[in-house]
Structure 1
Amino acid sequence: MGVRPRSPVRSGLSAVAGGLVLVGACVLYLRWHGVWVAAGAELGDFKVYVAAGQAVLDGKPLYEPWKAALPTIAGTFKYPPFAAVLFVPLALLPTWALPVFALGGNLVLMLVVIRLGLRATGQPPGRTAVAWTAVLGALCLAMQPVEWNLLWGNVNVLLMALVLVDAALPEDNRWKGVLTGVAAGIKLIPLIFIAHLLLTGRWRAAGTSAAAFLVTIGLGFLVLPGEAGYFWGGGVTDPDRVTGTGSADAPENQSVRGVVARLLHDPDLPSAYWVPVAVVVGVAGLLLARRASSRGEDYLATSVVGVTMVLVTPVAWSHYWVWFVPFFVLGVRWAATSRRWWPWVPVVAGYLLVLAWPGGRNWDMPFPGLIFLPTHPAAGLVARGLQNVEVGVGLLLLVAVAVHLYRGNRSSRHSRRSLG
């Protein structure tokens, strides 16, 4: 029995309604914007990118302590020289255009990620897809990682979009892999996606990614030979490069290392305590991604690698967890097409856990989410446990993917036995 197609009028109304929901969410979001400005935290990371681009133009240092003077931790640039070169155009923009570019660009990129997820779940293009994209975009704006990514103007949504667009390219596309290599050239940690390409036997794409990454290194040396020499000659391995003197157990560190440090109450956690855990999580995540890819679920596979990347990163700020967005899209589509009520339970529960709830305080922001709830003894074990909620949700997502892939294989084997 076929499914009756929706009428053009209903599809059009759905698209308009979805657009209005997204516009309404954006208006509410901009209402919070005034609070950020008052707290002095508006687009803090984006201002660093602009300053890095200006430093390239002015020939000023980026990495050397006590000489670099960027508006960030320790005053030093955190990314490879290629990223600073890439940020030069930002320094040429008028001041009024910077928030428009940062907020608008991140919003558009997030909608691209959502649309790719809808396509991966079989939603054809059209007005219904527009409605889905708009509503999901509005809901994602309220997620703590997304809110904070827009608050700071970070590049995490850009990196996620680059990798997912790259993964969506046909296997015979000769440019497949370039965007992944560029993403790694901007922030290094996307190098894990090249490992995923190798594990799934995509040799040409892996080679293209590696070549693109090497080109970004070469461009850094070409434009900034001194800074590139300092960074790649040892600065890249400096443990204080990203966090300065920050503690491993700070609640904003939503990685495996951060969880172990908080459990052991050790702000200077030795590598021997957390690296083995990260290795196990990393291997498990890559193997799950390989299995998903072998089933043709490349959007899911890439999202699994993204979550794995954040889990094993030594320092993962909460805004790294924008990788919840593709999983939210997949979860909502799974629940909506199942025609049962219970699939909505884990989807809604997961969404509520990563929502930008009020109550805690961090950088004087009124909606920092559950990870910043008070940590004093009166807060109780639940509140202290919620400090690790984003890591916990990430691990549960990997478990859910494992169940999905295992049940799929078991169902296939059962069908083959029945047919035999």
Structure 2
Amino acid sequence: MILNLPLLAVLSGVGVTWAASSPNCLSGSSFDTCCSNRDAVGKGTVDGVVMNYACGTYAKDETVGFGTVHKGAANAKECAGLCASDASCQAGFWSKVGSKCYLLNGSGYKTYHNKGTFLLFEKTTEEPGSVDECKDRVDSATSQCNAEKDKIKQQGSQLLQKCQDEKDQAIAGAGSKCEAEKDAIRKENAQLAEQASKQCEADKNQSLTQASKQCEADKNQAIAEAGSKCEAEKDAIRKENAQLADQATKQCEADKDQLRQQAATAASEYEKKIADLQTQLTQCQANVPTAKPVPAIDPNCESNSWVNMCSSCSQDTFVIDGKEFKKKCGVRTVGAREEQWLYRASLIACMKECATRGDCLGVGWRPAEGINGVSYHQSPHIPALVQLTNTTKHCHAHISIGGPLRNVPVWNEHLLYMPERGTPY
């Protein structure tokens, strides 16, 4: 049974700018990131096999149930890799709860979409080249686009700084030039006046009578010419300064308008990013499960626990280090490997140790094997247990071998199991 996923886009050419897309859920990315939308579907390649996948979906075979179970699969990619390496595997799904991987070998299964913490994957007959080539071209175009954008930003900053430096230099240069030209005019006027005065005195001394009128005429002409020239040069300086100031003002206003536009655009982008992040934070907070209250442990269940647990303990459910355990008395448990644990202070300590191991399905005990550090036996004449000798405080762990636990009625054997890792039948 193969999921028929629509072809979302056809990529062609070079230099196309692409928006960021959702990560490939078979690439090892976080389940909460790529499956934040539990209706998301997609396609990915794992170990050379192209697979379709769907978030919030699992599969079940009417004959074999959920198929072969592998525990401790860190993510959907690792689970899909187990299926890719098995020629008989047709599909499977990964469960975030317990990091479990379920593999199905036949095609007689059905898929169920309940928007839970599952990710279904199914093999296809496609060649991986087209998928990988498409991804490579997208990655290449995205990388090239980002590099070109960074280069344009850098060039823009350099040009803006260069423009500002040239403006500052032009204004400073115009002011310095104006002062220098005015000083030159003053100096020239002073020199002309001095020359005229000396010439006048010389002419008067040479021929006071003849040169007096000519001297006055020359002086008046020189003063008039100098004054006209000074006024013309000052007018030219004023006009040039006004033009430079007007150009500088217009350029400054244009630069300020451009900077304001850039600042407004950047502010709008930042506000959108902040709104998007706030939305993601709200969704993330909404998805955080409410912690269940941890029930207190009845003292009768912990004190002399090998005997009291099934005789005077009022609790059937225990929460140890965040893991829930259920109690079943008078049953022998099979379907797992028994691992003997000695020198444990109580059954509570046994449950704590089991909770830390991912392959531990539960713990069992036989009262005759350890009651507060002593051994008991059944007397043929007294219908009660009789203390014999000191011994180890003894329980046994049920270590997973890939199948479920099964119970058989036996009066002097008992079980504490974790429902999230499998309920015995």
TM-score in same-fold range (> 0.5)? no
Instruction: Specify which structure has the higher proportion of strand.
Output: 2
Q: Flag the structure with larger Rg.
A: 2
TM-score (structure 1 length as normaliser): 0.17
Q: Judging by fraction of residues, say which structure has more helix.
A: 1
Larger RCO: 1 or 2 (CA < 8 Å, sep 6+) = 1
Q: TM-score, normalised by structure 2?
A: 0.17
